[in-house]
Chains A and B, each alone.
Chain A
Amino acid sequence: MKHSLLIYLFIMVLVTNLIRVLPMTLIRRRITHPFLRSFLYYVPYVTLAVMTFPAIMQATSSPWGGFIALLFGIVAAWFGWGLFPVAAVCCIVAFVCEIL
């Protein structure tokens, strides 16, 4: 069967956005259940942490470059640097590791 490129793209756009919209239409009020509230409080930090490590080590050509960038990023963020400065520190460290 010959597949249409446009149908492929349409499915991608539709399914991906439906996943995003579904909770918004279903959950309109503040959740009061203590466990659920606590769960949702931790979700963002856990998700971002899981996605950061070890993935950052696969973004660079040597895992060490990503790992060192991560350490520098953590230190910069610990001292209260914002999104862009921390990202820039990570990029510069990764770039230096790449060319060394």
Chain B
Amino acid sequence: MRTATRSIFLHGMRDGFPIGMGYFAVSFSLGIIAAKAGLTAWMGFVGSFLTRASAGEYGVYSLIAIGASYVEVVAMCLVTNLRYLLMSTALTQKFASNVSLLKRILVACCVTDEIFGISIAYPGNLPPAYPFGAMLISTTMWALGTAVGIVAGEILPPHVVAALSVALYGMFIAIIIPPSKRDYAVGISVIASFLLSWLCSVLPTVREMSAGTRTIVLTILIAAVAAYVKPIKIEDHDEA
């Protein structure tokens, strides 16, 4: 590995570590559900390592526990993870034009809410080594948390689990607030997102929507309105 690439990889690992700590707490509780579905610690480790989707895995393990059909599992994966389609699409615009297809595909596989978040926050073009580093450490902790959760069950006190699970949202906040400060259109979009997301969770009928579906519908709606009202200026700094 070249020195520059290695330092970017290490940078990714450093940013991936707090994400991994949050993951560990969340996947620990996921492991408790996976145990109910009959998964062994190894299955939980490998399944989580290769999937890396909190809501998606939660949905699938609950389906397995009730012996649902394979078609239902496919549908569950599509609905709970469809936001990754949007995130990957946004990331396609973040690469320098000389990044190979293989690396793009591998970066796509790294996409989780958090890895996507820090990748978007990376200044300028995204060097693949950054999400790789972040993914390596956070995914390992994610998989480990699932396995430990399956074996150890409810050992961590609920206070600690609750406090740790807020970490992920803290990271989201750290990503969305600085650009909101710089660009008022982003700020207004963020406030609108908070309000509409909250409304959708309390209003009758609409609140029946799953969190995954709500994320997709609101993202498309709000981003489309923002793009229509306040289109960004086109800069072609990376056409080379």
Chain A interface residues toward B at CB < 8 A? 3, 5-9, 11-13, 15-17, 19-25, 27-32, 34-56, 59-61, 65-66, 69-70, 73-74, 76-78, 80-95, 98-99
Contact = CB atoms under 8 A, between A and B. Distances in A.
B171 A83 contact: yes
B46 to A, nearest CB: 8
Nearest to A82: B174
B160 interface: yes
B166 A50 contact: no
A86 B147 CA distance: 28
A86 B172 CA distance: 9
A45 B196 CA distance: 14
A80 B178 contact: yes
The 7 A-B pairs with the shortest beta carbon distances in the complex, nearest first, are: A90-B170, A49-B193, A77-B177, A38-B227, A87-B170, A95-B163, A86-B174
Contacts of A86: 170-171, 173-174
Given A8-B60, A30-B93, 13 more contacts: A5-B38, A21-B108, A31-B92, A45-B179, A49-B194, A52-B169, A54-B197, A83-B118, A85-B174, A87-B167, A87-B174, A90-B169, A91-B163
Interface in B72-119: 73-74, 77-78, 81-93, 97, 101, 104-105, 107-109, 111, 113, 116-118
B162 A42 contact: no
A61 B163 CA distance: 9
A29 B240 CA distance: 11
A82 to B, nearest CB: 6
Given A5-B38, A24-B105, A61 B231 contact: no
A11 B86 contact: no
Nearest to A48: B172
What DSSP secondary structure best describes chain B's contact surface? helix
B43 interface: yes
A35 B227 contact: yes
A39 B43 CA distance: 39
19 contacts: A5-B38, A7-B70, A9-B46, A12-B60, A16-B84, A28-B101, A35-B227, A35-B231, A43-B86, A45-B193, A48-B117, A49-B189, A51-B172, A51-B215, A54-B198, A60-B162, A73-B169, A84-B17, A91-B167
Contact of A69 (B166, B177, B218, B227): B166
Give the one of B88, B121, B163, B228 with max A CB within 10 A.
B163
Contact of B223 (A31, A39, A91): A39
Contacts of B223: 39-40, 42-43, 46
A86 B175 CA distance: 10
Contacts of A69: 166, 169-170
A45 B176 contact: yes
Contacts of B50: 13, 17
Give the one of A39, A50, A92 with max B CB within 10 A.
A50
Given A77-B174, A86-B171, A43 B90 contact: yes
B156 interface: no
A70 B177 CA distance: 11
B174 A47 contact: no
A47 B86 contact: yes
